[in-house]
Amino acid sequence: MKEDVLAILKESQSHVSGEKMSEQLACSRTAIWKAISQLKKEGYPIEAQRNLGYKLTDFDLLNERELALIAPEYKIHYIEQTGSTQQVAMQLLADGADTNTVVVAGTQTSGRGRLGRVWQSEKYTTVSMSMIIKPTITLQHAPKLTLVAAVAVARALSKYADVSIKWPNDILINGKKVCGILTELQADPDRIKAVIIGIGINVNNAVFDESLEDRATSLAQEAKQSIPRVNVIERVLTEWTQMYALFESDGFTVLKPLWEAYATSIGATIRVRSEQETLVCTLLGITDDGYLRVQREGGEETLIISGDIDL
Ligand code: BT5
């Protein structure tokens, strides 16, 4: 009953009267009233107005229950507010968490990027999630997981706008970053114990910090409509499940063309900053190992294993 009432409220843009719901669900008004009180107790923001009925006031519901409904094959932990979902995932891993455990935060206050950089997560408007995966691959193949995740996220977000991938871990819309991916490993010298893939997506952000203004965008800004974060998470997990299954069965070779189809600037002149050097070169693509293939100005082909691209 509770689920049916919730479904009606979610679908309706305006108030729905208790009478209408009781007719629709062929039950008493008291049963509706009880279901509404239970849902309120569970934290659903339901407004009751005399003569009009009930309305869900928050279109962007994110809680453990909503998340459990979208992807039953994942164990999703929801935390209202935390420093970094990567940190929480690491703790869960230390406590014995299994593969396919996912941490989602309503708000993240100290999001991390690569190399100690900061990932900004505006309150209650972004997706901050970390997935624990225990893959049966050797250490050398681990960087490809970032690329598999990038393809999955790109496919998930392409429902809302035209997306592209910037090697290795950025998803862009109109040249601006909408998502960043952070892959962290726990490994013995020869064996991966676990991988934590962190995904941060700007969903309903209206404004960005001055430092990001020209470089960041959100799905809502691009799609010109607000988007429930739970829908975005559902799409990401669905695509991840499919892409990761492909990776496990057939390896990266089948995913490479998918990656390249989303890749930005193939054939263009780019600047690559790595720890060793900054290189102005032509972007050729990636290798089967997920390394960046570039051509130096003199014509020589070079592989980049880690670094940042400036377009
Ligand atoms: C990343 O690093 O892009 C990885 C971001 C991963 C964030 C997720 S959220 C869930 C999980 N929990 C965490 O604590 N982290 C993960 P990198 O390639 O190093 O890019 C970082 C750079 O992106 C920063 O230096 C800024 O220039 C830019 N940036 C920061 N916040 C941004 C935002 N919200 N939107 C667009 N760009 C941003």
Q: What is the domain-level CATH number for residue 42?
A: 1.10.10.10
* CATH number for 88: 3.30.930.10
Residues 133 and 86 in one domain: yes
Give the ligand 1 atom nearest the CA of 117.
Answer: 25
Residue 257 phi, psi (nearest 5): -65, -30
Number of domains in the chain: 3
Residues 89 and 217 in one domain: yes
Residue by residue, DSSP assigns 87-111 as: HHHHHHHHTTPPTTEEEEEEEESSE
Residues 111 and 244 in one domain: yes
Q: Which parts of 134-274 are beta strand (E)?
A: 163-166, 170-173, 176-187, 192-202, 269-273
Residues 86 and 200 in one domain: yes
SS3 state of residue 17: coil
Rama region for 221: left / alpha / beta (φ>0; ψ in -120 to 50; rest): alpha
Predicted local distance difference test score (pLDDT) of residue 190: 78
- Cβ of residue 182 lying under 6 Å from some atom of ligand 1: yes
Rounded mean pLDDT of the chain?
93
* CATH number for 298: 2.30.30.100
Residues 294 and 150 in one domain: no
Give the Cα separation of 224 and 220 in Å (integer): 5
Residues spanned by the domain of 284: 265-310
Residues 120 and 240 in one domain: yes
Q: What's the token pair of residue 23?
A: 């007719």
Residues 218 and 79 in one domain: yes
Q: Could you tell me the pLDDT band of residue 123, with boundaries at 50, 70 and 90?
A: confident
Where a domain ends, among 38, 56, 74?
56
Is the Cβ–Cβ distance between 139 and 190 less than 8 Å?
yes
User: If you measure from the C-alpha of residue 108 to the centroid of ligand 1, how many angstroms do you get, rounded to a whole number?
Assistant: 12
Instruction: Enter the pTM of the model.
Output: 0.89
Pocket test for ligand 1, best of 81, 118, 119, 199 (most atoms within 8 A of CB): 119
ipTM score above 0.95: yes
Residue 43 pLDDT greater than 80, yes or no? no
Q: Could you tell me the pLDDT band of residue 39, with boundaries at 50, 70 and 90?
A: confident
